[in-house]
Amino acid sequence: MNSSSLPARPVYTQVTHAVARAADMATQAYGQGTFSVGGTLLDPLGNELKAIHNNVVVNGLTHDPTAHGERQLIDWYYAQLAQGITLPPPAEMTIVTSLDPCCMCTGAILAAGFKVVSGAFDDFAGINYNRQASFPSLSPGLRRQAQTRYAYPAVTGSARGFARPATGTALSAPFAAGQTVDQADVALCQALFQATVNQVKNTINTDLAADQLHDPATLPADDPLILALKAIDPAALTYRAPARGLPDAGLAPHLQAAARVDLTQGGSGNAVALLDPFGNLLLCMPGHEHVSPLQTAFMRLTRSYAALREQLINNPAIGAEKTRRYLGHPKHGTWVFAKGPDDSARSLMELGAFGSTMEGAVPSENPVPLQYVVPGMSPTALTAWCQQLPPFYSRCVVVNPLQVQSQALIAAMTPTL
Ligand SMILES: O=c1cc[nH]c(=O)[nH]1
């Protein structure tokens, strides 16, 4: 099958129409009560292959903290390839998004190699938060790549605040017929997002504080919550760190086993574990990168844990109260990477996805929620990089991965990575 066999869809050769389409998807997101962001994926002729909106929130619950429009479009693209559908290479595909991509989506876009056209700016979490297309959050290599892939088309109109000159790379195919955006289209993208973002955050901010959580290891082995957890990872609750946020060498066999699987599934041998505030191992996972560069261990783990909580909350035999009490919000937990971030697009995506998963500031009594065993880059350079991320990540969440304290865990993992 090739792209011409897909069902007939609209064709966009004027960028303002494509931005209007992204705004239309953002409007649908608004109706769903999720972050009002949408986008469309176009082939080199402007054929719409897929339009989608943010799906972080479904029925008032966090459904998938990584379900941003752009990330979903890229996963959709790779899912088509996995089904044998032939599509143009990523370098020829354009994502038109209602809002400037966040760090997670930028990492995904650059890892895959798509082109992007942005409607509204996002001064808090957008990769172009300074509006100058200078991308201070990116390493020199990624910055050069973004400067050839990210377009912020000129916006025409008289209203103050929306008209703007073109910045970023010049628009290329498929927008031969119109390269400026009407201010009404950008105004809709921006107003929809800004007017609703805090309301959406408040909707999902209903989790318990850490001191209200109960230890899942005290539940009987045949409790449905435990069975659901172990159905995802049979090793769940078989390891307990000696103290909150302080994993020791007992975690090594779990990370090593997952890292070995990661290698056979297209990854570089990374793995990630999630510990709860009692120190219990909840889940440990490899990536699935032979399907898509987006399916790293961290991306899979954060999505799996969110899906588990949603499924249990919606299960009348378990429900919201019990789920929230025994399987707390991941901001109370500790994420342990076998290998720490390096300066790749995938690492940017994961740091961004961590920020999206936290949904806001991490509680101060959980000072090191993000840890790694073996460094992927110099710890000083990593901290400096994180301080350059857009304000949401550097000042609100304060993304700052640190190496685990246990020398025994480091010694156990280092020879295997
Ligand atoms: O879907 C979304 C939400 C926020 N930021 C994005 O880039 N996409």
Q: What is the pLDDT of residues 276-330, one digit of tens each?
A: 999 999 999 999 999 999 999 999 999 999 999 999 999 999 999 999 999 999 9
Q: Which atom of ligand 1 is nearest to the CA of 104?
A: 7
Helix axes 224-232, 297-313, angle to 10 degrees: 160
Cβ-based neighbour number of residue 319 at 10 Å? 12
**Domain check: are 229 and 314 in the same one?**
yes
Q: Please indicate whether residue 99, judged by its CB atom, sits closer than 6 Å to ligand 1.
A: yes
Please compute the mean of the pLDDT values over residues 125-149 and round it to a whole number.
98
The three state secondary structure string of 175-213 is CCCECEEEHHHHHHHHHHHHHHHHHHHHHHCCCCCHHHC
pLDDT tier at 84, thresholds 50, 70, 90 = very high
**Domain span holding position 358:** 210-416
Q: What is the pLDDT of residue 4?
A: 47
**Domain check: are 216 and 178 in the same one?**
no
Q: What is the pLDDT of residue 212?
A: 98
Q: Give 160 Cα–ligand 1 centroid separation in angstroms.
A: 24
Q: Please give the tally of structural domains in the chain.
A: 2
**Residue 9 pLDDT more than 90?**
no
Q: Please indicate whether residue 372, judged by its CB atom, sits closer than 6 Å to ligand 1.
A: no
> In this structure, which residue's CA is closest to atom 2 in ligand 1?
68
**Residue 1 pLDDT more than 90?**
no
Q: What is the Cβ-side half-sphere exposure of residue 219, based on CA atoms within 13 angstroms?
A: 23
Q: Which atom of ligand 1 is nearest to the CA of 68?
A: 1
pLDDT in tens, 25-62: 999 999 999 999 999 999 999 999 999 999 999 999 99
DSSP secondary structure of 326-346: HS--GGGSEEEEEE---SSHH
pLDDT in tens, 241-253: 999 999 999 999 9
Please compute the mean of the pLDDT values over residues 153-157 and round it to a whole number.
96
**Domain check: are 22 and 46 in the same one?**
yes
Q: What is the pLDDT of residue 160?
A: 78
* Cβ neighbours of residue 244 closer than 8 Å, sequence gap 6 or more: 277, 278, 279, 334, 366
Please compute the mean of the pLDDT values over residues 409-415 and round it to a whole number.
95
Please return the burial class of 332, using the count of CB atoms within 10 Å of its CB with bins 0-12, 13-18 and 19+: buried
Q: What is the pLDDT of residue 401?
A: 98
- Looking at 171, 202, 233, the residue that finishes a domain is 202
Q: What is the pLDDT of residue 3?
A: 44
Grouping H, G, I as helix, E, B as strand and the rest as coil, residue 308 is helix
What is the C-alpha to C-alpha distance for residues 46 and 92, in angstroms, rounded to an integer?
A: 11
What is the C-alpha to C-alpha distance for residues 108 and 345, in angstroms, rounded to an integer?
A: 7
Of 150, 179, 6, 210, the residue nearest 88 (C-alpha): 6
**Domain check: are 167 and 288 in the same one?**
no
Helix (H) / strand (E) element for 48: namely strand 48-53
**Domain check: are 192 and 242 in the same one?**
no
Q: Please indicate whether residue 69, judged by its CB atom, sits closer than 6 Å to ligand 1.
A: yes
Q: How far is CA 245 from CA 88, 148, 259, 374, in A?
A: 45, 41, 21, 16
Query: For residue 176, how far is the Cα from the chain centroid?
Result: 32
**Domain check: are 266 and 384 in the same one?**
yes
Place of tokens 């479904």: 58
Q: Please indicate whether residue 101, judged by its CB atom, sits closer than 6 Å to ligand 1.
A: yes
* Phi–psi pair at 336, nearest 5 degrees: -120, 115
Q: Give 230 Cα–ligand 1 centroid separation in angstroms.
A: 32
- Looking at 202, 236, 254, the residue that finishes a domain is 202
**Domain check: are 336 and 216 in the same one?**
yes
Buried b (16+ CB within 10 A) or exposed e, 335-367: bbbbbbbebbbbbbbbbbbbbbbbbeebbeeee
Q: Give 271 Cα–ligand 1 centroid separation in angstroms.
A: 26
Q: Give 413 Cα–ligand 1 centroid separation in angstroms.
A: 35
- Give me 254's structure tokens: 């779990």
Q: What percent of the chain has pLDDT over 90?
A: 96
pLDDT in tens, 62-74: 999 999 999 999 9
**Domain check: are 303 and 268 in the same one?**
yes
Q: What's the CA angle centered on 32, arms 27 and 36, to 5 degrees?
A: 45
**Domain check: are 180 and 316 in the same one?**
no
**Domain check: are 86 and 190 in the same one?**
yes
**Domain check: are 284 and 238 in the same one?**
yes
CATH number of the domain residue 395 falls in: 3.40.140.10
Q: Which atom of ligand 1 is nearest to the CA of 35?
A: 3
**Domain check: are 45 and 182 in the same one?**
yes
Please compute the mean of the pLDDT values over residues 185-207 and round it to a whole number.
95
**Residue 403 pLDDT more than 50?**
yes
Q: Please indicate whether residue 102, judged by its CB atom, sits closer than 6 Å to ligand 1.
A: yes
Q: What is the pLDDT of residue 5?
A: 52
Q: What is the pLDDT of residue 310?
A: 98
- Looking at 185, 202, 219, the residue that finishes a domain is 202
Q: Give 113 Cα–ligand 1 centroid separation in angstroms.
A: 18
pTM given for the model: 0.96
Rounded to 10 degrees, what is the CA torsion of 50, 55, 56, 59? -170
